[in-house]
Structure 1
Amino acid sequence: MLNDDLTIRRASTSDGPALMALERAGWSWLSDVMPQRAEDALMFDERYGVEPFLVAELAGRVVGYIRQIPPTPLASNQHVRQIQGLRVSHDVRGRGVGQALVEAACLAARAQGARRITLRVLGHNLPARRLYERCGFQVEGVLPEEFLLDGAYVDDVLMGLRLDD
């Protein structure tokens, strides 16, 4: 699917505009629970620093990102990481970029000492759910009708993967 031109690397502050362009272009009620961010919004700010982001480049062009962080600041669950953001450019979807990003996030979480990685995905987002399942994630819970999006109630699906197997 992919050629050797795909690179997954840590984000840098200079990636901010390209990642925000991906964020805005990929926004949809299929995958997002928050309204679309403003055109002048910054990708990296006091809430979301650059450190948790991995970037996918294909032939030198930024085509995706993933963000994984500890789910809480509690010491008691620092062995867990959570994917809180994944975007792939529309023009390269279906070519393995998303899977490469998820696999890279899992490797990075292992390197940080994590035993598990979790995520939340909207129940109606079947492409994302299939991607996560291909990467070994399993459904661990469902919050029925957790969100009212664009006039419809949508389940919040909790998925997880053990990293120490």
Structure 2
Amino acid sequence: MAPMSQPHIRFARLDDDDELARLDRASWSTLHSVQPRPEAPYAPFFSERFGPRDHLVAELCGRLVGYVRIAFPTSLAAHTHVRQIQGLAVAEEARGAGVGRALIRAAVDRARQVGARRLTLRVLGHNKPARALYESEGFVVEGVLPEEFLLDGTYVDDVLMGRPL
């Protein structure tokens, strides 16, 4: 792959909906998703629960190539000091170009900006590339739910990771 420029990170916009939905469908895999494969008719990417301000997107050469969703882990008032990465996707053609790392760093920065003390996430145990990336960015395993999901006939751990801000 030819060297690419650094990804540009920005908040998502309403008009990114179709592109983000396509990216989500194209990048779907049991390596990182516990949801069934998306089928038509496709739901909009943004919902009542998660809108553009809950997403940072990455662009390379003017093309949207990734996103990270940052949200509250629960609706409890006692939990508002924590933010959680609840989705991360990078287009196949942009993998290995630093897009995922740039999105994680932007998520850390955003969580700090809004006053969070911790950033957490959940990752499937068999997703070794994502786990290595998260660990290299300061996340540590804080818990494991053994064989929490049955994906493609195999039981897979749900790994809880977090880091202080």
**TM-score w.r.t. length of structure 2:** 0.95
**Which residue in the other structure is 1:13 paired with?**
14
Structure 2: gaps of 5 or more residues: none
For residues 36 and 51 of structure 1, the distance between their equivalents in structure 2, rounded to whole angstroms, comes to 26
Q: Percent identity?
A: 59
In the TM superposition, residue 119 of structure 1 has moved relative to its aligned partner by 0.2
**Offset at 1:2?**
4.9
Query: Equivalent of 1:43, from 37, 42, 45?
Result: 45
TM-score normalized by the length of structure 1: 0.95
Q: Please give the alpha-carbon distance, in whole angstroms, between the structure 2 residues aligned to 1:132 and 1:50.
A: 23
Match of 2:125 in 1: 123
- The secondary structure found in structure 1 opposite 2:89 is strand
Shift of 1:49: 1.8
RMSD between superposed Cα atoms in Å? 1.1
- 1:30 is matched with 31
1:139-154 equivalence runs, <5 A? 139-154=141-156
Task: Tell me the SS of whatever aligns to 1:119.
Answer: strand
More displaced stretch, 38-47 vs 128-137: 38-47
| Aligned-partner residue type, residue 29 of structure 2 | S
Runs (5+) with no aligned partner, structure 1: none
How many residues are treated as equivalent by the alignment? 162
Preserved CA contact (<8 Å) 1:147 1:156:
yes
Kept in 1: contact 2:5–2:61 (CA 8 A): no
Point out 4+ residue stretches in structure 1 off by more than 6 angstroms: none
**2-structure distance, mates of 1:44, 1:142:** 30
2: CA distance between counterparts of 1:2 and 1:75?
42
For residues 84 and 14 of structure 1, the distance between their equivalents in structure 2, rounded to whole angstroms, comes to 21
Match of 2:90 in 1: 88
What's the offset of the Cα at 1:36? Answer: 2.1
1:13-47 CA distances to partner (integer Å, 9 max, x unpaired)? 10011111110011011100011223422001223
Please tell me the residue identity of whatever aligns with 2:31: L
Deviation at 1:95, TM superposition (A): 1.2
